[in-house]
């Protein structure tokens, strides 16, 4: 599958989790980071969450992962509340971690086996999962190399493999191609595209072209409020884009 292919107009039905947020609000002191957000992500959907710095994207995904408790509102992941049952929800999630949090002194295969063991896979299961993941993320040429010596593009693939190891139905990816060169960006985007439809994908990004390539649906947050939610080609069509990202000061002019 190539990155240049047009995106499907509708999310294909498939595996994955359903996320439902209703009037979801999170405050930090008097600051409202997320303000009455209502949205639904369907199983198998590739969902892009867009917004400028500080718009509330990370707050939303931390609420989904049960790492934060909502101040108000309702949130369910496959009918489960992340606030009251975080472990059950987290078992369904693969988080792509920042490459800076990978273990540079470990070798790729050894690191993935360690993670598989930590997630409770038996040794034969771990070996099978690690080898399948190495193949899926095209890590075979570097499987015995130290993570710290890899290029940033390969480190990002290790990070994706780490998130994917237990085959979670929900993959959350925050700025997956930040800091990568164009070839590495394309490789990571191709891997993410190949996963579409098989599980739910939440992609947080500032990069509108990346959202166009990878997401079938996008929502835009501004200062904690949901200001757009729809099919990617409708929300990110000509002309609409700058308006969506304009800050409050620019509206006053
Ligand atoms: P970025 O693209 O820069 O990562 P974001 O869209 O992910 O931004 P959030 O990290 O969700 O934005 O932050 C939303 C707002 O909430 C910001 O104003 C941020 O400063 C504030 N915020 C987030 N976490 C905390 C916290 N733990 N304590 C206080 N304020 C916070």
pLDDT digits (tens, 9 = 90+) for 81-133: 999 999 999 989 998 866 667 889 999 999 999 999 988 889 999 999 999 99
**Percentage of residues of the chain with pLDDT beyond 90:** 59
**Alpha carbon nearest to ligand 1 atom 2, residue:** 53
Quote the pLDDT of residue 102: 81
In a domain, 150, yes or no: yes
Q: Are residues 177 and 118 in the same domain?
A: no
**Is 239 a residue whose pLDDT tops 90?**
no
Q: Answer for the pair 190, 35: CB distance below 8 angstroms, yes or no.
A: no
pLDDT value of position 208: 87
- Shared domain for 111 and 204, answered yes or no, is no
| Neighbouring C-beta atoms of residue 117, cutoff 10 Å | 14
Secondary structure class of 166 (helix, strand, coil): coil
Give yes or no for residue 58 CB within 6 A of ligand 1: yes
Q: For residue 1, tell me if it sits in a domain.
A: no
What percent of the chain clears pLDDT 70, i.e. is strictly above it?
Answer: 87
Q: Are residues 196 and 81 in the same domain?
A: yes
Q: What is the pLDDT of residue 241?
A: 60
Q: Are residues 118 and 236 in the same domain?
A: no
Lowest mean pLDDT among 65-79, 92-106, 137-151, 219-233: 92-106
177 and 86 in a common domain: yes
User: What confidence score (pLDDT) does residue 36 get?
Assistant: 97
Section 64-90 average pLDDT:
96
* CB of residue 178 inside a 6 A radius of ligand 1: no
**Residue 31 or 14, more confident:** 31
Structural domain that includes position 43: 15-52+67-92+169-246
Worst-scoring range by mean pLDDT, 42-56, 177-191, 236-250?
236-250
3-class DSSP assignment, residue 244: helix
Of ligand 1's listed atoms, the one at least distance from the Cα of 51 is 6
Q: Same domain, yes or no, for 153 and 189?
A: no
What is the pTM (predicted TM-score) of this model? 0.84
Which residue, of 130, 150, 167, is where some domain finishes?
A: 167
In a domain, 182, yes or no: yes
Q: Residue 218's domain is classified under what CATH number?
A: 3.40.50.300
DSSP percent split of the chain into helix, strand, coil, nearest 5: 40, 25, 35
Same domain for 149 and 186, yes or no, is no
Whether 132 maps to a domain, the answer reads: yes
Q: Are residues 177 and 150 in the same domain?
A: no
Strand 19-28 and strand 31-41: pairing? Answer: antiparallel
Cα–Cα distance, 44 to 63 (Å, whole number): 20
User: Which ligand 1 atom minimizes the distance to the CA of 224?
Assistant: 14
CA of 58 relative to ligand 1 center, distance in Å: 7
Q: Is 24 exposed, middle or buried (0-12, 13-18, 19+ CB in 10 A)?
A: buried
- pLDDT at site 178: 81
pLDDT at position 246, please? 64
Burial per residue of 192-223, b for 16 or more beta-carbon CB atoms within 10 angstroms, e otherwise: bbebbbebbbbbbbebbebbbbbbbbbbbbbb
Instruction: Answer yes or no: is 237 within a domain.
Output: yes
What is the domain count for the chain?
2
Q: Does 51 sit in the ligand 1 pocket, CB within 6 Å?
A: yes
Ligand 1 mean position to 28 CA, how many Å?
9
Give residue 250 CA to ligand 1 midpoint distance, Å.
21
Rounded to the nearest angstrom, the distance between the alpha carbon of 57 and the centre of ligand 1 is 8
* Sequence-ordered list of residues with C-beta below 8 angstroms from that of 190, at least 6 positions apart, any chain: 1, 2, 3
pLDDT at residue 67, as a whole number: 92
Is residue 47 pLDDT above 90, yes or no?
A: yes
Residue of 25, 49, 55, 172 to mutate, ligand 1, most atoms within 8 A of C-beta: 55
Q: Is residue 78 located within the same domain as residue 199?
A: yes
**Mean pLDDT, residues 223-249 taken together:** 78
Task: Say if residue 144 is in the same domain as residue 175.
Answer: no
Which of 92-106, 112-126, 189-203, 233-247 shows the lowest per-residue confidence on average (mean pLDDT)? Answer: 233-247
- The Cα 66–Cα 91 span in angstroms is 11
Q: Which atom of ligand 1 is nearest to the CA of 221?
A: 6
CA 206 to ligand 1: nearest atom: 2
Q: Helix, strand or coil for residue 199?
A: strand
Q: What is the pLDDT of residue 12?
A: 38
If asked whether residues 173 and 115 sit together in one domain, one would say no
- Last residue in a domain, options 167, 189, 213: 167
For residue 48, the surrounding DSSP H or E stretch is strand 46-50
In a domain, 138, yes or no: yes
Rounded distance between C-alpha atoms, residue 147 and residue 104, angstroms: 5
177 and 78, same structural domain? yes
97 part of a folded domain: no
């Amino acid at each position: 599958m190539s990155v240049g292919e047009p995106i499907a107009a509708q999310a294909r039905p498939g595996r994955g989790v359903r996320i439902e947020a209703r009037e979801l609000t999170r405050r930090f002191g008097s600051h409202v980071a997320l303000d009455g957000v209502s949205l639904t992500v369907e199983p198998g959907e590739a969902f892009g969450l867009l917004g400028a710095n500080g718009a509330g994207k990370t707050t939303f995904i931390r609420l989904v992962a049960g790492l934060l408790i909502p101040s108000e509102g309702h949130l369910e992941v496959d009918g489960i509340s992340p606030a009251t049952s975080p472990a059950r929800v987290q078992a369904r999630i693969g988080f792509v971690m920042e490459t800076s949090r990978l273990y540079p002194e470990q070798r790729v295969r050894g690191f993935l086996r360690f993670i598989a063991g930590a997630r409770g896979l038996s040794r034969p299961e771990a070996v099978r999962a690690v080898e399948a993941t190495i193949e899926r993320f095209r890590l075979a040429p570097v499987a015995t190399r130290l993570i710290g010596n890899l290029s940033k593009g390969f480190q990002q693939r290790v990070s994706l493999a780490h998130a994917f190891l237990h085959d979670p139905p929900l993959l959350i990816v925050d700025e997956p191609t930040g800091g990568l060169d164009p070839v590495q960006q394309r490789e990571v985007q191709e891997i993410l595209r190949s996963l579409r439809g098989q599980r739910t994908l939440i992609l947080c990004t500032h990069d509108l072209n990346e959202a166009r390539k990878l997401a079938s649906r996008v929502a835009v947050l501004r200062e904690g409020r949901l200001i757009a939610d729809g099919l990617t080609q409708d929300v990110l069509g000509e002309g609409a884009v700058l308006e969506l990202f304009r800050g409050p000061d620019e509206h006053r002019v």
